[in-house]
Amino acid sequence: MSNVAIVTGAGSGFGLGLTKKLLAAKWIVYGADISPDGLETLKALGANPLKLDVTSDKDVKAGVSKVIKEQGRIDLLVANAGYGSFTAVEETTSEQVRAIFDVNVFGVERCVKAVLPQMRLQKSGRIVSTTSVVAHVSLVGLGWYSATKHAVKAMSNALRQEVKHLGIQVVTVEPGTSKTAFGAAAFDKLGKSRAIGDYDGVMRGLNKWLGGLYRISPGPEKIIKKLYRAGTTSRPRAHYPGSWDVRALKMVFYAIPAKTLDRLVLWLAKR
């Protein structure tokens, strides 16, 4: 019997790469996305395309019900759909804050709650969420985006403990900077959000040093491998840092005092 996976945000980036690896390993994959082009790509690969908007209760329930009706089980949910928004806290409108939480947090919540009844029934299953290195720290321009990733990490820690006795495993994967369409979209929002001159210096600095990191960052292959390992290994860890730089940054973030971290970040922003 083949294993059954649902991957959200499967039409591009990490989700598409993971879908390819799962298909190669003979999994039955339902690739969920809102992009028509992405859905066509998934279909051509041999995945089962699901037109699914994670901000829609109706879409999520219908998509998960379809998988259960057709396969009778769900072995893996990869809650990967999300986007970045690099903006100053004050310059981000309330509508923009609600929008990013609706995808990055409540989108995960909808998907998790939709698959848990089936996983509880079968006494097995795994839930993998894509968080970020900024689930551990918040920096200039990343306040609201970091808040969404902090929220998913906190929820995943609690859920892991709540469902362990039911045979369900909960894992997070923490990417750092990576060359996908994510960075371009996030920096595009930074350019369009600017409205308050008092933040010109630090936001220009963010654009320079974080943009530089994205330009020299590796492709998505390492993160895709970590997502695959998180979803398929028999004894998964609770958290998978995406690469060595994520592990190093986490150690720095937790080891140095907040005042020192602030000075470091603001020094980088002025370079």
Residues marked active site are found at: 145
Hey, what are 250's tokens? Answer: 């986490």
- The total number of residues written for the chain in this structure: 271
Instruction: Establish how many alpha carbons lie within 13 A of residue 106's alpha carbon, considering only the half-sphere containing its beta carbon.
Output: 11
Contact 128, 173 (CB under 8 A): yes
Query: Is residue 43 within 8 Å of residue 49, measured between CB atoms?
Result: yes
3-state SS assignment for residue 195: coil
Cβ-contact 224, 21 below 8 angstroms: yes
If one counts every other C-beta atom within 10 angstroms of the C-beta of residue 142, the result is: 22
Distance of alpha carbon 165 from alpha carbon 138, whole angstroms: 33
Q: What angle do CA 112, 85, 102 make, to 5 degrees?
A: 30
Question: What are the residue ranges of helices labelled H in 72-196?
Answer: 94-104, 106-122, 143-163, 181-193
Structure tokens that stand for 172 in this block: 């997070």
Residue 242, number of CB atoms within 10 A of its CB: 26
